[in-house]
């Protein structure tokens, strides 16, 4: 069995809502973390990221001026002087699948939809600590490997080598919506 | 903090991408322990969260007050980019926080309001009662929570408002496939 020594981890929490920051701080301290730095906007978080060099970033998405998505994109700059590899957990009230895809494509490591739970947060932290994924760099993407499923039975398009694609046709939700019941 | 060694990066180059691997930089924080010595950090955190629960009602009052103020500003001066964003953020915060604070129906109602703000083609043309009813419902759910018979009423109120809102959005977006697809996509968050 493994346990995480939270007291060796440094966290950066970014959320504009003071109540959610309090919840996060309480959960992380209960897990055993000592070093939890907090920011209420993305710009300050980026400064703190460079200054404190956290091991794990937990950020909200919707914030005024400079949001969590932009924060992730700024951290995931392969040529930056800072650490572009730190795990980023996006904790957000956005719960649509489309948002998960957008966050993933910004280089977010884990996505956790609110409402927050101690178990959900712990599992995301355990995952980034115990199972880090390789990073992929392309012309348009730098971040954790977006392919989590290592099955050899994949039959979709092989986008990485630019070969002949095979697309699986599915009816769109729009078509479904317009079909009379 | 855990030590990270960027010098140990391994880069494999392919035709159109690179795969970058490194020894797990956080491996030093993982410790093998005997099962008998394994504590339960999740239970410990849940207990700490329960210790905060006495403050949740006040926090929700603050959040609903912010939502009502954002709505009042819109009633006074109409929708502007700033007032729309403030109304959305206030509703979005309640959507995210309220279930944690013990108000799941308020969260569901706030989610419905967020969908109206995000997907209505023209907010000025949304029936004003539709937005007002959502805000009034959230306030009522928070204020009346202490009464034992209000949980099912709150749930039903939230469900009906969501139904009316979805019907409006589906009609208003009938010629906007991107929005319609987003509206009809399932949420990944647990339902009320």
The residues facing A91 across adjacent strands are A112
Give the pLDDT score at A160. 64
Q: Where are the domains of chain A?
A: 6-144
Is the model more confident about B167 or about A178? B167
Give the pLDDT score at B156. 92
Give the pLDDT score at A63. 87
Distances (CA, A) of B47 to B100, B132, B173: 14, 37, 45
> From the CA of B53, how many Å to the nearest CA of chain A?
10
Give the pLDDT score at B171. 94
Topology (CATH) of B47-184: 1.20.120
Q: Where are the domains of chain B?
A: 47-184
Q: What is the pLDDT along chain B (192 residues), one digit of tens a residue?
A: 665 445 588 898 888 888 999 889 999 999 888 887 778 999 999 999 999 999 999 999 999 999 999 999 999 999 999 999 999 999 999 999 999 999 999 999 999 999 999 999 999 999 989 999 999 999 999 998 766 567 888 899 999 999 999 999 999 999 998 888 888 877 665 444
Instruction: Decide which of 1.20.1240.10, 3.40.718.10, 3.40.50.720, 3.40.50.2300 is the CATH code for A6-144.
Output: 3.40.50.2300
Distances (CA, A) of A141 to A76, A102, A109, A132, A161: 9, 12, 13, 18, 15
Helix/strand/coil (H/E/C) assignment for every residue in chain A: CEEECHHHCEEEEECCCHHHHHHHHHHHHHHCCCEEEEECCHHHHHHHHHHHCCCEEEECCCCCCCCHHHHHHHHCCCCCCCCCCCCEEEEECCCEHHHHHHHHHCCCCEEEECCCCHHHHHHHHHHHHHCCCCEEECCCCEEECCCCCCCCCCCCCCCCCCCCCCCCCCCCHHHHHHCCC
Cα separation, A175 vs B166, in Å, equals 17
Whether pLDDT at A178 is above 70: no
Is the model more confident about A65 or about B44? B44
* Chain B touched by A135 (CB under 8 Å): yes
* Chain B touched by A161 (CB under 8 Å): yes
Whether pLDDT at A165 is above 50: no
> From the CA of A69, how many Å to the nearest CA of chain B?
15
Give the pLDDT score at B3. 52
Contact B185 A31 (CB under 8 A): no
Split at pLDDT 50, 70, 90, the class of A115 is: very high
Give the pLDDT score at A151. 66
> From the CA of A10, how many Å to the nearest CA of chain B?
5
Give the pLDDT score at B188. 63
Give the pLDDT score at B1. 61
Question: Do the strands A142-144 and A2-4 form a parallel or antiparallel pair, or are they unpaired?
Answer: unpaired
* Chain B touched by A177 (CB under 8 Å): yes
Q: What is the pTM of this model?
A: 0.86
CA closest to A93 among chain B residues:
B96
Give the pLDDT score at B36. 78
């Amino acid at each position: 069995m493994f346990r995480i020594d939270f007291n060796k981890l440094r966290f950066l929490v970014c959320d504009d809502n003071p109540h959610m920051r309090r919840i996060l701080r309480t959960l992380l301290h209960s897990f055993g973390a000592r070093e939890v730095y907090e920011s209420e906007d993305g710009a300050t978080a980026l400064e703190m990221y460079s200054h404190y060099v956290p091991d794990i970033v937990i950020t909200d998405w919707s914030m005024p001026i400079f949001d969590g998505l932009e924060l992730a994109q700024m951290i995931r700059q392969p040529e930056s002087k800072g650490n572009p590899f730190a795990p980023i957990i996006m904790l957000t009230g956005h719960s649509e699948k489309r948002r998960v895809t957008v966050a993933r494509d910004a280089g977010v490591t884990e996505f956790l939809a609110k409402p927050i739970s101690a178990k959900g947060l712990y599992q995301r932290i355990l995952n980034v600590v115990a199972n880090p994924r390789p990073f992929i760099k392309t012309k348009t993407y730098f971040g954790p490997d977006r392919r989590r499923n290592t099955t050899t039975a994949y039959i979709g398009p092989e986008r990485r080598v630019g070969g002949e694609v095979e697309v699986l046709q599915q009816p769109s939700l729009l078509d479904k919506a317009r079909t009379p019941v | 903090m855990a030590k990270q060694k960027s010098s140990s990066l391994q880069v494999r180059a392919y035709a159109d991408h690179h795969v970058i691997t490194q020894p797990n930089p956080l491996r030093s924080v993982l410790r093998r322990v005997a099962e008998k010595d394994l504590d339960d950090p999740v239970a410990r955190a849940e207990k700490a969260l329960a210790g905060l629960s006495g403050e949740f009602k006040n926090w929700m009052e603050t959040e609903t007050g912010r939502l009502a103020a954002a709505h009042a500003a819109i009633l006074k001066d109409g929708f502007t980019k700033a007032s729309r964003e403030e109304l959305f953020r206030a509703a979005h915060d309640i959507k995210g926080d309220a279930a944690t604070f013990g108000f799941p129906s308020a969260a569901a109602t706030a989610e419905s309001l967020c969908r109206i703000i995000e997907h209505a083609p023209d907010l000025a043309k949304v029936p004003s009662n539709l937005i007002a009813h959502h805000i009034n419902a959230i306030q009522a759910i928070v204020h009346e929570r202490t009464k034992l018979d209000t949980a099912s009423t709150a749930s039903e109120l939230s469900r009906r408002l969501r139904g009316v809102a979805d019907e409006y959005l589906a009609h208003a977006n009938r010629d906007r496939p991107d929005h319609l697809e987003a509206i009809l996509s399932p949420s990944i968050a647990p339902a009320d």
